[in-house]
Amino acid sequence: MGSEGPRRLGHLVTAVSAEVERPGPNGSGRRRPSLAWLGVVPFFAYATAFLLLPSAVVLIGAFQDAEGGFTTKNVSEVIHTPQYRHAFQTSIEISLVTAVVGGLFGLLMAYAAVRAGTPRIFRHGLTTFSGVAANFAGVPLAFAFIATLGTLGIVTKFLDNHFGINIYQHGFSLFTFTGVSIVYLYFQIPLMILVIAPALDGLRTEWREASANLGGSSFQYWRHVGIPVLLPSILGAAILLFGNSFAAYATAYALTGGAVNLVPLIIGQNIGGDVLSNPHLSEALAFGMIVVIGVSMVLYALLHRRASRWMR
């Protein structure tokens, strides 16, 4: 705050002295406190129109039959149709895998960059790049990986030409569960780095010194201090990664076009207008997604509250 003070004061004084000559049209009218809520009406109106009402339409639609009456048929159809159940299973699996693997690699890279001894430039470089990569997803990301590891990809052909290894003959394919996971990690790892780096900064050198002074080894420090302090942050970040991957549509669509059975892809196909015996089915699928994401967000909020205890 301190160093910024004079500049702000400068803004203030120049701004106000210019206006002080002429009192504004409503300069004298002090607003009554009871009307203060009027100030947030535009935001709530906008959020209602373009976020709450569309969400409500989805939630209500999930429990409506063709005539508009209440029914649980749609949701039970989702639960009892093997294709949809399998889609939820695959979506959850892919999210778990990329959250755990992405979380682990992200944590190790973030720690490598922030720990004492690593030149500061690596930290700046890594967080800047993570900011880009965490936001670089969707169609371009899918095509970047097709150009790399697709059947005609640069790395695929390099391995074939120089080492005689045709990865596609050895069972690898970019357009499968494994392939989608590898691509998702490209935004999952950077997200982990961005989220966990501040928590790693919260590990104070004094704790490590105190542990060392009491004769604790490096292992004991991590076992009794480091990991317990970080655990809520790590789990919270992993949940964020889970939700991030669970909701992703564009990357999987551009990569596989639906060859991997994921819930967002089925919803997309239904909007696209084919195969609709039950028009409320995509709403029921969306309802299922909201339940999964909602549960993970509640878990995240609980963990975040615990994690912030150490962050001051």
Partner 1 sequence: MRRPRFAISSVVWLTLGAAYFVIPLAATLLFSLQSGKNYSYNLSAYGQVIHDEEFWKTLRLSVVLSLETILISLVLLVPTAYWVHLKLPRVRPYIEFLTILPFVVPPIILVVGLLKFYNGTVHAPLWFLESPYAFLGSAYVVLAFPYVYRSLDAGFRAIDIHTLTEASQSLGAPWRTTLARVIIPNIRAAALAGAFLTLAIVMGEFTIASLALFTTFPTYINLVNSQQVYEAAALSLISFGITWAAMIGLLAFGGGPGRRRAAAGAAD
Q: Site residues for partner 1, window 123-182 (CB under 8 A)? A: 126-141, 143-148, 152-155
Task: Determine if 283 is a binding residue for partner 1 (CB under 8 A).
Answer: yes
Task: Determine if 79 is a binding residue for partner 1 (CB under 8 A).
Answer: no
Interface residue with partner 1, options 32, 43, 120, 164 (CB under 8 A): 43
Please, what is the minimum distance in Å from the beta carbon of residue 57 to partner 1? 5
- Binding segment for partner 1 (CB under 8 A), chosen from 69-77, 85-93, 162-170, 285-293, is 285-293
Task: Determine if 281 is a binding residue for partner 1 (CB under 8 A).
Answer: no
# residues contacting partner 1 (CB under 8 A) = 109
Task: Determine if 243 is a binding residue for partner 1 (CB under 8 A).
Answer: yes
Task: Determine if 244 is a binding residue for partner 1 (CB under 8 A).
Answer: yes
Q: According to CB under 8 A, which residues from 181 to 200 bind partner 1?
A: 185-191, 194-195, 198
Provide the phi-psi class of 136: left if phi over 0, else alpha when psi is between -120 and 50, else beta: beta
Distance CA 311, CA 201 (A): 9
- Binding segment for partner 1 (CB under 8 A), chosen from 83-91, 170-178, 216-224, 263-271, is 263-271
Please, what is the minimum distance in Å from the beta carbon of residue 280 to partner 1? 10
Interface residue with partner 1, options 93, 218, 272, 305 (CB under 8 A): 272
In the complex with partner 1, the residue whose CB is nearer, 113 or 229, is 113
Q: According to CB under 8 A, which residues from 1 to 20 bind partner 1?
A: 1, 8, 11-12, 14-20
- Binding segment for partner 1 (CB under 8 A), chosen from 48-56, 72-80, 82-90, 222-230, is 48-56
In the complex with partner 1, the residue whose CB is nearer, 17 or 83, is 17
Three-state SS letters, 223-272:
HHHHHHHHHHHHHHHHHHHHHHHHHCCHHHHHHHCCCCCCHHHHHHHHHC
In the complex with partner 1, the residue whose CB is nearer, 54 or 258, is 54
